[in-house]
């Protein structure tokens, strides 16, 4: 049973514009959420995280928004750059449980 869902398998955006990636989860015990970026044949690289006590966390061009009532989070990348082209994974964990549940990923392509 997929507890973390990324319903958009791909996203194409023009350079300089905003990329918005969405993620939904079903487990109400999840309280920590992370976004990872992954290139082919490489391990994921940590981007940004947010705990359930916040609804927004910002780090440079990356901002994550959390809507607990909707069990939804999103990652905003602005402005999008060609180097942002990669697969982005949403992940979540529950309190006192270090296991991560991953979404299926969204492939972002930034067009010049």
Partner 1 sequence: GAVVSQHPSWVICKSGTSVKIECRSLDFQATTMFWYRQFPKQSLMLMATSNEGSKATYEQGVEKDKFLINHASLTLSTLTVTSAHPEDSSFYICSAMPGQGYGYTFGSGTRLTVV
Q: Tell me the C-alpha distance between 105 and 93, whole Å.
A: 16
Q: Tell me the C-alpha distance between 77 and 29, whole Å.
A: 27
Q: Tell me the C-alpha distance between 109 and 52, whole Å.
A: 29
Shortest Cβ distance from residue 43 to partner 1 (Å)? 4
User: What residue spans of the chain are helical by DSSP H?
Assistant: none
Among 13, 101, 106, 110, binds partner 1 (CB under 8 A): 101
Residues 6+ apart with CB under 8 A from 109: 10, 11, 12, 13, 85
Shortest Cβ distance from residue 81 to partner 1 (Å)? 21
Q: Which is nearer to partner 1, 42 or 83 (CB)?
A: 42
Residue 45 as a binder of partner 1 (CB under 8 A): the answer is yes
Query: Which residues within the stretch 5-34 sit at the binding site for partner 1 (CB under 8 A)?
Result: 9, 34
Applying CB under 8 A, the residues found at the interface with partner 1 are: 2, 4, 9, 34, 36, 41-46, 49, 89, 98-105
């Amino acid at each position: 049973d997929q507890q973390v869902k990324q319903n958009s398998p791909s996203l194409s955006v023009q350079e300089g514009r905003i990329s918005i990636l969405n993620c939904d989860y079903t487990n109400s015990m999840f309280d920590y959420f992370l976004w990872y970026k992954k290139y082919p044949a490489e391990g994921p690289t940590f981007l940004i995280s947010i705990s359930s006590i916040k609804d927004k966390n910002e780090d440079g061009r990356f901002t994550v928004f959390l809507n607990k009532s909707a069990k939804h989070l999103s990652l905003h990348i602005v402005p999008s750059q060609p180097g942002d082209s990669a697969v982005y994974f949403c992940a979540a964990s529950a309190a006192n449980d270090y296991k991560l549940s991953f979404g299926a990923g969204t492939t972002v392509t930034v067009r010049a």
